[in-house]
């Protein structure tokens, strides 16, 4: 979003965070993921 506003803010980009953001976007919402480490998590 150009104005920096989002419908959903997901904290953590592990597998759950990615799924939550994807579901929000599929439902027509805008979403942003905030992550300080590894996107996708560190699990195998």
| Confidence (pLDDT) at 41 | 62
pLDDT attached to residue 42: 63
Confirm whether pTM is higher than 0.95: no
**pLDDT score recorded for residue 44:** 42
Question: What tens-digit pLDDT sequence spans the chain (44 residues)?
Answer: 567 899 999 998 888 888 999 999 999 999 999 988 776 666 64
40 belongs to a structural domain: no
| Residue 22 CA, distance from chain mean position | 7
Quick check: 20 and 10 in contact, CB under 8 A?
A: yes
Count up the domains in the chain and report the number.
1
State the CB neighbour count (10 A cutoff) for residue 10.
20
Q: Domain for residue 3, yes or no?
A: yes
Instruction: Supply the DSSP string of 23-44, one letter for each residue.
Output: HHHHTT--EEEE-SS-TT-S--
Give CA–CA dist 5/13, Å, rounded: 19
Domain of 8, in residue numbers: 1-34
């Amino acid at each position: 979003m150009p104005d920096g506003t989002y419908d959903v803010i997901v904290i953590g980009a592990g597998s759950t965070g990615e799924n939550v953001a994807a579901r929000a976007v599929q439902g027509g919402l805008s979403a942003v993921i905030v992550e300080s480490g590894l996107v996708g998590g560190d699990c195998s």
